[in-house]
Amino acid sequence: MSKPIVAELVDLLQLERIEENLFRGQSRDIGTRFVFGGQVLGQALAAAQRTVEGRAVHSMHAYFLRAGDVEAPIVYEVDRSRDGKSFSSRRVVAIQHGQPIFTMAASFQEPEDGLTHQLSMPDVPPPEDLSEPEPLAPERLAKIPPKLQRWVTNRGPFEFRHVYPRDEINPPRRPPFQHVWFRLVDRVSDDEPLHRALLAYASDFHLIGTATLPHGISYLLGNVQMASLDHAMWFHRPFRADQWLLYSCDSPSAQGARGLSRGQIYDLQGRLVASTAQEGLMRLLAVPA
């Protein structure tokens, strides 16, 4: 692991243990106004995993309660709800400035053989046949609200290649699905809990944005308010976050200023390794003339 941006993310997920079930994580400013939701997902899962031995997470269900402050650390309190013969349950509350900003329930299971099937991976071009996104030209970047420009130009720890790229400055209306290849930009250790926390972090990218596709709107234009409301994730098979994964997303519904999106994550061999679902706020704003 040689790239500082990856080392910084891995360090972000290595929480400080304050007490037996109490952990503290730092926040990273990636150009968003508030703490990136994926950061809280990854840190909360990292905290829960620190209280379980010999069992791997298979599902997590989370709610975002308040916007996180990027200038302050986050405390994660883990409740060891139950340790059964095969499964363990954990509840995590993320606290900042004395208030809960996020809650998550996660379930862990001992390794076990059983029946198996999966939906096939979509037939899409491999990542090496797709181009990396081109940087926005200065005149196009100027059309984006200043507080979002750093988010757009920031080079993060994950690289993304879109099967169907979209112009976010002049977004067309199109069906509510997209396919995005992604991977960590540098190799990390073989630690499986780390890779699960990294995938939880990355799963918050592009998911709720799928619900905007039929409406020709973009969070970059300043006329829509978007925020994650909840996030669910299921882990099916082993994977590596530093190898190419396909995020296949669709949005079955939008209503009441909320959009629902679902995602399936495949590895290069076509194995379904994880699934996600998220509902997010999509509120149109009046833009001053």
Active-site entry in 88, 228, 248, 261: 228
Measured CA angle at 182 (ends 176, 184), to 5 deg = 150
Direct distance between the N- and C-terminal alpha carbons of the chain, in angstroms, rounded to an integer: 49
Active-site entry in 39, 107, 204, 218: 204
At 278 the three-state DSSP class reads strand
Q: Using only C-alpha atoms, what is the Rg of the chain?
A: 19
228 assigned to active site: yes
204 assigned to active site: yes
Q: Distance between CA 180 and CA 165 in Å, rounded?
A: 9
- From the CB of residue 253, how many other CB atoms can be counted at a distance below 10 Å? 12
b/e 187-207 (16+ beta carbons within 10 angstroms → b):
ebeeeebbbbbbbbbbbbbbb
11 assigned to active site: no
Are 67 and 18 in contact by the 8 Å Cβ rule? The answer is: no
Q: Strand 56-64 and strand 74-83: pairing? A: unpaired
Q: What tokens appear for 227 in the block?
A: 């925020």
Catalytic positions are: 204, 228, 278
